[in-house]
Amino acid sequence: MALQRRIAPIPIGMAEKRSKSPERIRLRMEEIGISQEDLASAIGATQGAISQILTGATRNSRLLPKIANTLAVNLHWVMGITDDKIDMFDVDGEDISEDTLAAMRAGIIENRLQRPEQIRKATDEKQKDYKAVSPDPASFLEQLGMTLIPEVDLHFALGGGSFVDGPVTTTMVPYRKDWLDRITRGSPGTPDVFLTRGDGDSMMPTILDDDDVIVNRADRIITKQDRTWALGYGDLVSIKRVRRMSSGVFHLMSDNPNVSTIEAMEDELRVIGRVVWIGRRM
């Protein structure tokens, strides 16, 4: 049976020693052979949180007791309160308190402490168990019937067009596969889609400024009149209704009657994809 560890109050005047924590945690991690990722997983924290502790960006973290417990070393050594480093597990892998350790040293009870290689083996086994029950993100999404699509940080102008200057950033967002199939009607390449936002008022009332818009890149051949498309025109990008005239000229039309139609030749126009869904924040 593991005994409850009691944490003694931190003596006054010891605060300046807490800066030793990053160095001592790294030292102990190297000694027992575990990585930041292993430590984060073992205590249920993010790797970023561990990184902040190891770089000294976060001090007096509430995670320090868990870290000391996982590293099987006394908390006061980790915090710099004492230079007496103690292996805090017995040979059976049971957590022991500092009071129990004092009793062991006094010969009142008989326990033996684990060696670092035993701790490392126990940590490896815990990692195997964790990975066995934790599917990778891609498998987890697949089990839920979902997929990731890119959200493009590029507002498509709903007026004359937005000038594209510099790289376009993206993040990935989850959507249900069956829903994407439905809105794209199972077109080839599905789900070759991306999420973006409109910018302006020329497509009102169909698309408002900052509405979410999903564009299907698998559909880039204009075969039907007056559909809504994401387009490139020179250095500009925009969302317009497109009508092909008998002369071969394309009319890029706005739903807002106050915005003039743009004429473009086929070789001036780049079809990015067809708008298949519009979402609006209420």
For residue 125, the model assigns a pLDDT of 64
Does residue 44 have a pLDDT over 90? no
As given in the structure block, the two tokens for residue 156 are 């498509």
Q: What is the model's pLDDT at position 205?
A: 92
Q: Return phi, psi of residue 43, to 5°.
A: -105, 0
Predicted model pTM: 0.49
Cα atoms in the Cβ-side hemisphere of radius 13 Å centred on 24: 24
| CA angle (57 as vertex; 59, 79 as ends), nearest 5 | 30
Segment 69-75 mean pLDDT: 82
pLDDT in tens, 159-213: 554 444 444 556 888 888 888 888 887 655 446 888 888 888 889 999 988 899 9
Distances in whole angstroms, Cα of residue 164 to Cα of each of 48, 157, 160, 168: 33, 11, 13, 8
How high is the pLDDT of residue 89? 67
> If you ran DSSP here, which 8-state letter would residue 261 be given?
P
- Alpha-carbon 42 to chain mean position: 19
Q: Which residues, at least 6 apart from 82, have a Cβ–Cβ distance to it below 8 Å?
A: 74, 76
For 77-118, how does the pLDDT look when each residue is reduced to its tens digit (9 = 90+)?
Answer: 888 888 888 777 665 656 666 677 667 666 666 666 555 555
Domain limits, the chain: 15-134, 143-279
- CA separation for the pair 196, 155 (Å, rounded): 6
Burial class (CB in 10 A: 0-12, 13-18, 19+), 225: exposed
Please determine, for residue 62, whether its predicted confidence score (pLDDT) is greater than 50.
yes
CATH number of 15-134: 1.10.260.40
> Please, is 95 exposed, middle or buried when counting C-beta atoms within 10 Å of its C-beta (0-12, 13-18, 19+)?
middle
**Predicted confidence band of residue 245 (pLDDT cuts 50, 70, 90):** very high
Cβ atoms of 230 and 272 closer than 8 Å = yes
> Is residue 280 helix, strand or coil?
coil
CATH 3.40.50.720 matches 143-279: no
